[in-house]
Amino acid sequence: MSREQMRDLQSKRLREISKYVYENTPFYKRKFDELGITPDDIKDIDDIVKLPFTNKLDLRDNYPFGLRAVPMSDIVRIHASSGTTGKPVVVLYTKKDLETWQEAISRAFTAYGATKEDIFQVSYGYGLFTGGLGAHDGAQHIGASVIPMSSGNTEKQVALMHDFGATTLCCTPSYALFLAETIAESGIPRDEFKLRIGAFGAEPWTEAIRRDIESKLKIKAYDIYGLSEVAGPGVGYECECQNGPHLNEDFYYPEIVDPTTGKQLPEGTVGELCFTHLNKEGMPLMRYRTHDLTALHYEKCACGRTLVKMDRIMGRCDDMLIIRGVNVFPTQIEDVIMQLKEFEPHYILVVDRVNNTDTSELHVEVKKEYYSTDPAAQKALMHKIKDKLKSVIGLGFYVVLVEPKGIERSTGKAKRVIDKRKLKD
């Protein structure tokens, strides 16, 4: 589809959905009224800036079903994401919404080169989390065989991956690393596995981690992006170019806004990603603030797709740590660790405040072949990473070297930062 055709489609759908939420979601009727707008003010997609934003807090305030736009009898699926505080965020799907979502995820799997011949091992958690069932439905939709493993039980995962000849693995990148380690320890030769594709997402990961997973698992590792509030996995997906996800913008309209002012930002500028549902029935959201930071690019991709592309998510505005005045994203720390051959990509950052000064302590795991209990060797290694962190991030870290396997592995979304200051505030 050309950009013009896409724009026309988006304009048409935006007109329809504005009218739909005005008539069916009392929350949006109130918001439109407060802003003094009616659906008639929405003529084309550029008019989206007239519409109100929606925040996670709006979803929490309307817990559980306050943003529903159809009778409960039309809702066929309920998902929820727990987050760290407060009530869960609840999302509702009609039958048609599930079909749209399946279509979105099948586009992802097709872009990775998967077909009905493939056997998918879905190792995202099943349940209220959208990862498991989302990937499951998408794989089934393309006619592939699905092993509904869910996460955890890692040795059994490896055994079945081998015995069932799984070709495509769906899980978080941190779990992919754990699985790679477990496969290596299993003693089963790699060429007895059929694995060739990975669909990894649900948490930020860097290019260096992609290369690490690809070399350890000997597969192609693709990014898959999404969030429960918009649908789940499959809002965005990489193509064979592997340089950032395309977005399913005919279903979920993306904008980049300034996280502070909410002003729309131009192509190529990093800011907060927002989505507007263009054809959702159960619980459509207008200009939903994801808190995810990225930039959009509209030029045609080398793969031939015209769908807008985003840079890989660099982090969330609420993940950014301010330590002694310096802005730090966990992905920057990961990048530094991955540049040094002595370390595993496993770490925990503990931030605290002592005597009114921020402290930052990085626990990082040393590879078996570089681990030594000799104090001089430890000191040298500690300095190596400390100096690198200082030069790249501009911040002094207290480094704790952890013995091999000393950092707990993650089977879902990895938790790498403990900010004790938050508990004190």
Q: Which residues bind ligand DLL (CB under 6 A)?
A: 81, 124, 129-131, 201-204, 223-228, 232-233, 290, 292, 313, 316
Whose Cβ is closer to ligand DLL: residue 181's or residue 311's? 311
Whose Cβ is closer to ligand DLL: residue 313's or residue 366's? 313
SS3 content of the chain, % helix, strand, coil (to 5): 35, 25, 35
> Phi/psi class of residue 55: alpha, beta or left (left: φ > 0; alpha: ψ in -120 to 50)?
beta
- The amino acid that residue 354 corresponds to is V
Helices 95-111 + 130-141 axis angle, to 10 = 70
Whose Cβ is closer to ligand DLL: residue 39's or residue 131's? 131
Least distance from C-beta 75 to ligand DLL, angstroms? 18
Least distance from C-beta 285 to ligand DLL, angstroms? 13
Whose Cβ is closer to ligand DLL: residue 292's or residue 397's? 292
Least distance from C-beta 273 to ligand DLL, angstroms? 8
Partners of 327 in beta bridges: 322
**All residues at 6 or more sequence positions from 298 whose CB lies less than 8 Å from its CB, including other chains:** 3, 267, 308, 309
> Phi/psi class of residue 338: alpha, beta or left (left: φ > 0; alpha: ψ in -120 to 50)?
alpha
Least distance from C-beta 232 to ligand DLL, angstroms? 5
Least distance from C-beta 224 to ligand DLL, angstroms? 5
Least distance from C-beta 90 to ligand DLL, angstroms? 11
What is the total residue count of the chain? 425
- The amino acid that residue 254 corresponds to is P
3-state SS class at 230: coil
Q: Which burial class, exposed, middle or buried, applies to 172 when counting CB atoms under 10 A from its CB (0-12, 13-18, 19+)? A: buried
Whose Cβ is closer to ligand DLL: residue 224's or residue 385's? 224
Nearest alpha-carbon partner for 266 in 274, 255, 276, 277: 255
Whose Cβ is closer to ligand DLL: residue 176's or residue 407's? 176
Partners of 233 in beta bridges: 226
User: Euclidean distance between the first and final Cα of the chain, in Å?
Assistant: 51
Q: Distance (Å, rounded) from C-alpha 353 to C-alpha 323?
A: 9
- 224: enclosing H helix or E strand: strand 220-227
Whose Cβ is closer to ligand DLL: residue 128's or residue 382's? 128
Least distance from C-beta 163 to ligand DLL, angstroms? 25
- The amino acid that residue 221 corresponds to is A
Least distance from C-beta 242 to ligand DLL, angstroms? 13
Whose Cβ is closer to ligand DLL: residue 227's or residue 407's? 227
Least distance from C-beta 138 to ligand DLL, angstroms? 10
Which residue's CB comes closest to ligand DLL? Answer: 201
- Chain mean position to CA 331: 13
Whose Cβ is closer to ligand DLL: residue 235's or residue 366's? 235
Least distance from C-beta 108 to ligand DLL, angstroms? 9
Whose Cβ is closer to ligand DLL: residue 149's or residue 381's? 149
Q: Which burial class, exposed, middle or buried, applies to 325 when counting CB atoms under 10 A from its CB (0-12, 13-18, 19+)? A: exposed
Q: Return the CA Rg of the chain.
A: 22
Q: Distance (Å, rounded) from C-alpha 146 to C-alpha 122?
A: 7
Write out the two tokens for 396: 């002094």
